[in-house]
Amino acid sequence: MRDLTGNVAWITGAGSGIGESAALKLAEAGAVVVLSGRRRDLLEGVAKQVQAAGGNATVEALDVADKQAVLAVVGRIKARHGRIDIGVFSAGVNVTERNWSNVSTDGWDQVIGIDLDGVFYCCHGVVPLMREQGGGVIINVSSMAGKAVSPLTGPAYGAAKHALNAMTASLLIEERNNGIRATAICPGEVATPILDSRPVKVSDEDKARMLQAEDVGDLIRYVAQLPTHVTLNEILITPTWNRFAAR
């Protein structure tokens, strides 16, 4: 496995859930982590955890749906660190009113704007830098909803994640010979704050049976540490107790 000491990792959605876990795991592996998300207070809390463990973390507050803001953050990371070796694009949302009976066009725009457009803007921003430096790894956090269709997630989220998987595959096909690897990780249900937007409250008992953010964080670290000649194109990771499989 590769030594990540000194690698620069940019993580979006880093204030909580999978993004937070990925940041902590990559910092533990020696990477310099740049934390992005919409809530600076949460990002500062994660940065303090990294620093308390002896790691190196900086904060770049960001709404990934703002394409100009994404480019500005990439520019500041390049100016400060000179490179981006690892991109973990984990920012994602869903809306409570998510099904065909009640989803609004504004709700659709919000989900697509963050879960698909935002990931594209981040990938689009880092690829030129990765080409210049001779390679890098991009890890896009998708969902099992990108592999199957369920009313549990609704049309906007499902469409965004299906498209994200296709986009990640396209990126890998076109850029792999430039040393850029791209992986789509597709988790089943994960006990993260995104569950708070579910139309039906999720019980603590059910949350305990789901994947935990740390499980996916460990997987992200594993993917980042793979030798540069190895690519995991797409990974489906699910809880053993799986409500999707029952539908």
What gap in Å lies between CA 108 and CA 110, rounded to an integer?
A: 5
In a domain, 1, yes or no: no
Residue 223 and residue 235: Cα distance in Å, rounded? 10
Residue 245 lies in a domain: no
Number of domains in the chain: 1
Residue 198 pLDDT: 85
* CA 138 to each of CA 12, 111, 215, 219, 231: distance values in angstroms, whole numbers, following the listed order: 12, 21, 19, 13, 10
In this prediction the pTM is: 0.96
Q: Residues 184, 146: contact at Cβ < 8 Å? A: yes
- Look at residue 227 and tell me if it is in a domain: yes
CATH number of the CATH domain containing 112: 3.40.50.720
Q: Considering the domain boundaries, does residue 42 fall inside one?
A: yes
Residue 157 annotated in active site = yes
Residue 210 lies in a domain: yes
Domain membership of residue 136 as a residue range: 8-237
Residue 179 has which token pair? Answer: 């040393």
Across the chain, which has 247 residues, the per-10-residue mean pLDDT values are 97 98 98 98 98 97 98 98 98 96 98 98 98 98 94 96 98 98 97 86 93 98 98 97 67
Query: Which residues 6+ apart lie within 8 Å of 114 measured at CB?
Result: 64, 65, 91, 92, 93
**Residue tagged active-site, from 47, 157, 190, 221:** 157
